[in-house]
Structure formats: C-alpha cells, structure tokens
Amino acid sequence: MTTALSNQLSRRAGELPFSLPPQAEQKLLDFIALLEKWNQAYNLTAVRQPTQMISRHLMDSLVVMPYLHGEQILDVGSGAGLPGIPLALVCPERQFTLLDSNGKKVRFMRQAVAQLGLENVSVVHSRVEQFQSSAGFDTIIARAYATLGELIRGARHLCRPDGRFLIMKGAYPVAEFDDLSADFELETSHSLRVPGLEAERHLLVVRHVAGRH
C-alpha cells in the first residue's frame, strides 16, 4: 500500500503546475498516515481511505499554493490541518498559523506538526473572532468554512492592509458577493483543476482595500 500510495502521490503531484521541494512527497505521505491513524479515534475527516486523501485532501490543498500572498499565512478553521499543513510542507519559507476552535482537531494538528518537524507552523486553539495578532497576516485562507461575508467579518481584524483572503469553494458562490463589505473587493477568481478530482472547485481572492470604508 505504501508503494502504491507513493506512486499515486508522485503521479498526481506531476499534474500540479509547480514542482514539490525535495522530501516534500515523503512528508505528505507521513501526514496522510497520521491522519488515517488519528481519524479512527477522532473522526477528523469523512474521507477514510488514504488513496482518496491524496486527491481530496493533499491535491485539493496544494492547488492554491501559487495564489498565496506574502510570508505570514493564517488558515482559519484548519480542522485536520487542511490546507495549512500540506501548504507548509511545500512552502518552508513561509510562516503558517493554523487556527481552530475544536480541541480534538487542535491536538491532532499539534501532534502532526511535531512529528513532521514543521518549524514554520504554529497551532492556535481559539475562535477566529477572539484570536488577536499584533502583526496581522498577509494571507488568510479558509477551506469549507462559512460564507464569504461571515469569514471576512470574523477575521477582518487579522488581515493586514493590502492583505488577501483566499476562500476555497466548490461551486461558484454568486449569492455570497452581496454580503461583501465596502473595504474588501473581489480581486480575482479561479476555477481550479485538482489532480484526481472531478468535482468543481473555485478559489476567490479577496483584497483588503486599505483606507476604504
């Protein structure tokens, strides 16, 4: 199974529009092994099979890597460390903060960060509305978390001037744009092709327009 998984990951990674750094593939496999093990007791994700985790978790996270902005990245509602941990494994030069209010998921993320030796990741147990950061973040990313308006209202105090929200969605959420506040604007949107996944995926890039209210 390990060889088959490794081959599957290499094949799917080869379909990404960028190359993974050395040792990243093995670390990604180690992460999947941890996730499968903890999932049996903690129910971290509905995806049970490691073969499905390659596309539905790893590739689905990694496709947004070219759109990260700046060095300080906040993953809101990170859950089982997605997309933050796969992105941190392939972007060692960036700093990632993984935020979740669920204690079981936070324990898993902290264990994964320790075992994977991720020195560019910190894990925070908090609701996003209550979390404070004096420096703020260049990119705030969220996968399957609330609506566009709810996310920005909850996390806007953490976004630096000219920072970006990266909001990962399935279908294009037309109705959610009515709830966008005046000092944030949709900069771009991208239809993403996830290697090994037929489902519809979109990424919204929302920019904080400093000085506009």
pLDDT of residue 1 exceeding 60, the answer is no
Q: In the prediction, which pLDDT does 189 show?
A: 94
- CATH homologous superfamily, domain 2-208: Vaccinia Virus protein VP39 (3.40.50.150)
Cβ-contact 91, 160 below 8 angstroms: no
Question: Averaged over 183-210, what is the pLDDT?
Answer: 92
pLDDT tier at 176, thresholds 50, 70, 90: confident
**Distance between CA atoms of residues 75 and 99, nearest Å:** 6
CB atoms within 10 A of CB 46: 8
Place of tokens 């560019």: 120
**Distance between CA atoms of residues 181 and 143, nearest Å:** 20
Tokens of 100: 């979740």
**Distance between CA atoms of residues 108 and 181, nearest Å:** 35
Q: In the prediction, which pLDDT does 173 show?
A: 87
